[in-house]
Amino acid sequence: MAEVNLNKYISKIQKAVEEWLSQENQVLWKAVQQTVDDGLFSQHDIEFQLSVLRENIANGDIREWVNRSELSDRQNAKGQKVLCLHAGNLPLVGFQTALGTILSGADYHGKLSRKDPHLLASFLDEIGKSLPEKKIHYSTDLEKFTNLKADKVIFAGSEESISEVKEKIRELKAAKENAEYIIRTAKFSIAYLEDWNEETKKELIEAMLRYGGKGCRSVAVVVANFGLKKVKEELEKATREFWELNPQHQKPAPDLQYQYAYNAAVEKRQLWLEDFLIQESEELPDTDFTVNWVEGGEEKVRELKTQFGKKVQSVYSAGKKIAGIETEELERAQLPPLWWKPDGVDVVERLIR
């Protein structure tokens, strides 16, 4: 691995990120407006995501990430080509991967999602301006990476789509034959509730409903020491209040109405919110805008986590940690640090190995 002056390099990246996130940055403001005008994401969801990133940077998360990953002058990914195939299900969902790749010292090549092309591009342009010597290349068209022969490929997708993506990359020679693939397949998170109070309710609503429940950090399974019946009315009221401030950007497919009708027919307990459904079920949550509620304790959390396997990103608790499971605080579900680990993998650490 090549030797770099890491301290100087990280300082430049820190400054570039701060300038990009500045309230005075007209380029970012235009990217936000373009995204909203194109109907891709709502203004409040974009602003929420930007506020999380501003808090991360103010907390010193870049330096913390460098320390955690053991990135150093000698241990880095300089000289490597990394191809990132970014998802587009949330505003700036690809930011962490892009930043991590750039921090590692690797040359960044990013296939941006057509669902979120403007926001990430505004960040990459700022990095390109601050580090003109850095190789930064992005496009929404995978064919633009023909003959790239990347050393590593990072992408998020379903297990079913992996072989198709690899085949396309092979066809284009976008990665080397022996390239390492860092694949993310986690789909949702689980929340465990030991008891119920105003604070827990507020945290759960945010974790379930932010971004319409999309993204692997969003809660799609709730395991609680009590049934849905006990909190149904409170949940409905809290959901309506959340939506007044944060209207859901997308509407569900007709499938959701069919699920509601089926549940009603078989007398399954549920909370129907027209654009969202919370139902008592132990099944894998595979319908958008749906949360499955399970009555049970810590043992049930362990059982479901094992059953759902790699589809689970995180397990949250509003109280104590769950024995034998890495547990995060429920209040941080949509407020992760910059160095959180998608699918349990630190992207910087993985790239510099």
Q: In this structure, are residues 196 and 233 in contact, taking their beta carbons and an 8 Å threshold?
A: no
Contacts of 108 (CB under 8 A, 6+ apart): 82, 84, 98, 101, 102, 124, 134, 135, 136, 137, 138
Find, among 279, 286, 289, 276, the residue nearest to 214 by Cα. 289
Q: Percent of the chain beyond pLDDT 70?
A: 99
Per-residue pLDDT of 47-74, as tens digits, reads 999 999 999 999 999 999 999 999 999 9
* pLDDT exceeds 70 at position 4: no
pLDDT at residue number 69 = 98
Question: Which residues neighbour 206 within 8 Å (Cβ) at sequence distance 6 or greater?
Answer: 242, 331, 333, 334
What is the mean pLDDT of the segment spanning 256-275? Answer: 96
Q: What is the mean pLDDT of residues 248-253?
A: 94
Q: For residues 270 and 70, give the distance between their C-alpha atoms in angstroms, rounded to a whole number.
A: 47
Boundaries of every domain in the chain: 6-185, 188-332
The pLDDT, as a whole number, for residue 156 is 84
Please choose, from the candidates 242, 245, 249, 248, the residue with its C-alpha nearest in 3D space to the C-alpha of residue 206. 242
What average pLDDT does the segment 242-254 reach?
Answer: 94
Question: Do 320 and 127 touch, CB atoms closer than 8 A?
Answer: no
Reported pTM: 0.95
Q: Do domains 6-185 and 188-332 have the same CATH topology?
A: no
Which is more confidently placed, 91 or 185? 91
CA–CA distance, 309 with 307 (Å, rounded to integer): 6
Contact 69, 352 (CB under 8 A): yes
CA 188 – CA 213 distance, rounded (Å): 9
Domain 6-185 coded CATH 3.40.605.10: yes
Residues 25-43 have a mean pLDDT of 98
Average pLDDT, the chain: 96
Contact by Cβ (8 Å): 299, 324: no
Among residues 96, 202, 87, the alpha carbon closest in space to that of 155 is found at 87
* pLDDT digit string, tens, across residues 189-231: 999 999 999 999 999 999 999 999 999 999 999 999 999 999 9
**What is the pLDDT, as a whole number, of residue 1?**
45
CA dihedral 306, 343, 170, 120 (to 10 degrees): 150
Q: State residue 180's pLDDT score.
A: 97
pLDDT of residue 325 exceeding 70: yes
* Domain 188-332, CATH: 3.40.309.10
